[in-house]
Amino acid sequence: MKLYYAAASPYARKAHATAIETGMANKIEMEPTSPWTDPDGYRDINPVGKVPALVRDDGPPLYQSNVICEYLDAQGDTKVYPAVGPARWTALRQLAAADGILDASVHSRMESMFHEGEAISQKFLDRQELSVVAALDQLEGEADDLNGPVTIGQIAVACALGYRDFRFADANWRAGRPKLAAWYDVFAARPSIADTNPDA
Ligand SMILES: N[C@@H](CCC(=O)N[C@@H](CS)C(=O)NCC(=O)O)C(=O)O
């Protein structure tokens, strides 16, 4: 199998970290891809042109990080999606918060990448930041739920916090969120997170 990724993409990092945690990484060849250059043929793999995408042996390519994570979970020996029940909804709620942080953060970067000077909408940026802050606050309030066996929720939250460190260090998400910061310090040492760090 081939995982198309960009080292700086937090969505691709989520898929890669899930491959490591589920024991699937040794079955996957990593293919560095720069989605913004629209590489020849890449839209045959992912018509919407984003990373990550997974070319697999048993069917057509998969794209969208959560679809890839769920596929890897289904194939792997170690499960990161809990069975149906309260633990699953907790993990998926954490995943939703993490994806919300990523979507808002990436949208903010896109606004500055595609617009210049006065064309940059501060109103839009403020709205994205509001979402980031509220989702981080929710995670801080529910930080105790991040303990326990590794789940897709924890992996996604670690990738979201890592992305804030990588691209928005000045906004310092740790300020006023001591429980989340303490949890991340420990979780970020796992090979799935440490070995996929875009700063490394
Ligand atoms: N919801 C998608 C988001 C993926 C995404 O936005 N990837 C970015 C890199 S961080 C990308 O490839 N952007 C290229 C583009 O938007 O054309 C997922 O979870 O896979």
Q: Are residues 36 and 17 in the same domain?
A: yes
Q: Which atom belonging to ligand 1 lies closest to the Cα atom of 106?
A: 10
Give the tens place of pLDDT for each residue, 97-120.
999 999 999 999 999 999 999 999
Question: Which residue owns the Cα nearest ligand 1 atom 5?
Answer: 50
Q: Which atom belonging to ligand 1 lies closest to the Cα atom of 63?
A: 20
35 C-beta closer than 6 A to ligand 1: yes
Q: Are residues 187 and 115 in the same domain?
A: yes
Greatest Cα-to-Cα distance within the chain, rounded to the nearest angstrom: 52
* 90: in domain: yes
* 10: in domain: yes
Among residues 54, 75, 96, the one where a domain terminates is: 75
* 199: in domain: no
CA 92 to ligand 1 centroid distance, Å? 20
Q: Are residues 111 and 136 in the same domain?
A: yes
Q: Are residues 66 and 115 in the same domain?
A: no
* 81: in domain: no
DSSP string, 18-35: HHHHTT-GGG-EEEE--G
* 16: in domain: yes
51 C-beta closer than 6 A to ligand 1: yes
Residue ranges in the chain whose pLDDT is less than 50: none
Q: Are residues 117 and 162 in the same domain?
A: yes
pLDDT for 200: 76
Q: Are residues 55 and 27 in the same domain?
A: yes
Q: Are 73 and 80 in contact (CB under 8 A)?
A: yes
Residues 6+ apart with CB under 8 A from 197: 162, 188
Q: Are residues 145 and 112 in the same domain?
A: yes
| Residue 31 belongs to domain spanning | 2-75
Tokens of 59: 């069917």
Q: Are residues 59 and 143 in the same domain?
A: no
Question: Which residue owns the Cα nearest ligand 1 atom 13?
Answer: 50
DSSP string, 76-130: SSS--SPPTTHHHHHHHHHHHHHHHHHHHHHHHHHHHHH--GGGS-HHHHHHHHH
pLDDT for 187: 98
Give the tens place of pLDDT for each residue, 5-38.
999 999 999 999 999 999 999 999 999 999 999 9
**pTM of structure:** 0.98
11 C-beta closer than 6 A to ligand 1: yes
Q: Are residues 32 and 128 in the same domain?
A: no
Among residues 22, 47, 75, the one where a domain terminates is: 75
CA 140 to ligand 1 centroid distance, Å? 26
* 136: in domain: yes
Structural domain count, the chain? 2
Among the listed residues 106, 168, 97, the one whose alpha carbon sits nearest the alpha carbon of residue 135? 97
Euclidean distance between the first and the last CA atom of the chain, given in angstroms as a whole number:
25
Question: Which residue owns the Cα nearest ligand 1 atom 10?
Answer: 9
pLDDT for 174: 98
Assign 188 to helix, strand or coil.
coil
**Dihedral (CA of 109, 43, 100, 173) sign:** negative
| Domain CATH number, residue 109 | 1.20.1050.10
CA 54 to ligand 1 centroid distance, Å? 13
DSSP β-ladder status, 53-55 and 29-32: unpaired
Q: Are residues 91 and 50 in the same domain?
A: no
Q: Are residues 162 and 132 in the same domain?
A: yes
Tokens of 8: 């700086």
Q: Are residues 171 and 122 in the same domain?
A: yes
| Domain CATH number, residue 62 | 3.40.30.10
Query: Using alpha carbons only, how large is the chain's radius of gyration in Å?
Result: 17
What is the residue type of 32? P
pLDDT for 199: 85
